[in-house]
Structure 1
């Protein structure tokens, strides 16, 4: 899979990083950037080869995510949400209808999974009504709204079963979005999603999972987000020409790769703390230019701040407070 990682690194260095300042300033990721990721086959990274995907293993997914995050975090943030969906759709009743297009990037997707990842209060509820599921509730973070065709929405029933449904990314009387104002990755088109009596055809059901089963597996799903922080830290190391950071990066990466579910919160905290420290070192190395709006050091510092809280869990927060507090 080394050629896939090499493709991602080339895109990060030749396309994403050179354009990141403009993306951040404009507050929008150009469609052409995401088209380039699709043309490189990266939208199929987690999809099966049988449907045009790359069938990449976990380490390759992590390496690609890290490489792209060191180019432009907004673009990577949009792309990363998509990777969940081909993996979930594979083997489901929707595979033949959607999987090839998802892998090719002809259909692009976001996720709204809070009803599965946060036990209470229930973010989005589901009830069956004839040939449809009716959804009510909302989630504060859905990324890539202006760039996705469908959103994988988790919704829960009173008996704590999570239904994962492909919902069309179209606003209307029963589906509303409110743009979020973020300190970083504003260009990621992240919105609050609100649903009220929103009907989704039952044939858009990807799968149903008891909440307890999803919660038991959730700690093992935390690794990939750590690659975002590693990508930011690695870009800082290159810009500041601080080779000492390379050893720290290797150590944190190894810790993430070796961590089991119990160790992952601490490893994720170490990655976020490293990105935070790396941006500080870059600012000092660059000097006064680092506080000029639009300088890469300024943008990377805001991104590291964002990653201190993105995709967190209580155990990560506790570990990170201890890491930063010394």
Structure 2
């Protein structure tokens, strides 16, 4: 069931109509089969991202002068929600790619923006965000990957873990330690995929989101020109944290779409499935479950849109982004659990996508900062710490 949306412009409304058409014609028909194939063969839907790029969906919140679409962040997030309602891996992929471009756009020099952004935002390339390590997830300052200055270059050595698009991306937004000065010793680099010394581990075996390939990224004497360092040396942690505020909104929007897709399936099933001579939707107990699902989704949508509008207005939104990520992903987990329950035994089979939505919802509470980290972020803002 299409969600009623208030768009800031007619152009934005037309964009959402286009996204809904793509979602129904291109994504929904192949999502289940592609996810099943990716689980067995590690297939990556690169053609899907090329198609989305050709439709102009890989660069929505960036200015037209660099190849973007110049859309408000609130519109971009609603696009992610629409895509994720059918195939979470597609919405997540765009969110990750958008995040990889953020450091260059926000902290890059004019020369770096002119040199790098048109290719990054062309729709033909795909980025990966190489931040996390096995022992340095939310604790960014503990990373051990190092970048050593050598003349006009930096030489990077180390490993990144849990990296989406690894092995399939065209560039890697990489964070590496350039000194031992704690949180001020990390820097940001753009590393092309064909750089000698860059390799990848085996794909992780995950419970869901098989279309989102996740691997280690291994740096062995990877030489990167100093011109590919984004921001000042030692500025990496602020760059990463600023990007994650926006990235969390992408996860919140995707989780909301995932929950909406589960609700739509559950509601349709409840209307069509009959027991004791009448649709199960006529049972008040089940109808109230459906109502609670819809209320949770509405609250999640409101939180991410509120944060996005603050961002679009140039105001602080870090706390609101954490709230949106927390509320939306917890809602996704609850809603998809209830959707499986509404379908009963059928919901536990692969005949319906709700079991896939259920498996995919769990990781939304983990990546881009666990929901326990979101509570820490929120509490520190509220308590003035």
| TM bucket, shorter chain | 0.7 to 0.9
Local SS of the residue matching 1:186? coil
Structure 2 vs 1, CA of residues 212 and 179 (structure 1 numbering), >3 Å: closer, same or farther?
closer
Equivalent pair of 1:47/1:86 in contact (CA under 8 Å):
no
Local SS of the residue matching 2:319? coil
* Residue-by-residue CA offset, 1:88-113 (whole Å, 9 max, x unaligned): 33353333333222222122211112
d(CA) in 1 for partners of 2:137, 2:70: 25
The residue aligned with 1:187 is: 211
Tell me, which stretches of 5 or more residues in structure 1 are unaligned? 321-326
d(CA) in 2 for partners of 1:119, 1:135: 17
The residue aligned with 1:226 is: 252
Equivalent pair of 1:219/1:264 in contact (CA under 8 Å):
no
d(CA) in 1 for partners of 2:302, 2:187: 35
Equivalent pair of 1:178/1:193 in contact (CA under 8 Å):
no
Tell me, which stretches of 5 or more residues in structure 2 are unaligned? 1-11, 268-289, 308-316, 379-385
Asked whether 1:247 is paired with 2:273, we answer no
d(CA) in 2 for partners of 1:183, 1:62: 25
Query: Could you tell me the TM-score, scaled by structure 2's length?
Result: 0.75
The residue aligned with 2:142 is: 121
Q: Report how far residue 226 of structure 1 moved.
A: 0.9
Q: Report how far residue 182 of structure 1 moved.
A: 1.0
The residue aligned with 2:357 is: 300
* Residue-by-residue CA offset, 1:191-250 (whole Å, 9 max, x unaligned): 111223221122222333625644774673332211121011010111111455333222
Q: Report how far residue 41 of structure 1 moved.
A: 0.3
Query: Could you tell me the TM-score, scaled by structure 1's length?
Result: 0.87
Q: Pick one of 216, 237, 257 that aligns with 2:263.
A: 237
RMSD (CA atoms):
2.7
Q: Report how far residue 166 of structure 1 moved.
A: 1.5
The residue aligned with 1:111 is: 129
Asked whether 1:67 is paired with 2:93, we answer no
d(CA) in 2 for partners of 1:30, 1:254: 31
* Residue-by-residue CA offset, 1:21-55 (whole Å, 9 max, x unaligned): 11111103433311220111011213320122112
Structure 2 vs 1, CA of residues 101 and 294 (structure 1 numbering), >3 Å: closer, same or farther?
farther
How many aligned positions are there? 320
Q: Pick one of 229, 232, 235 that aligns with 1:210.
A: 235
Asked whether 1:198 is paired with 2:222, we answer yes
Structure 2 vs 1, CA of residues 318 and 51 (structure 1 numbering), >3 Å: closer, same or farther?
closer
Q: Report how far residue 317 of structure 1 moved.
A: 6.2
The residue aligned with 2:346 is: 289
The structure with the larger Rg is: 2
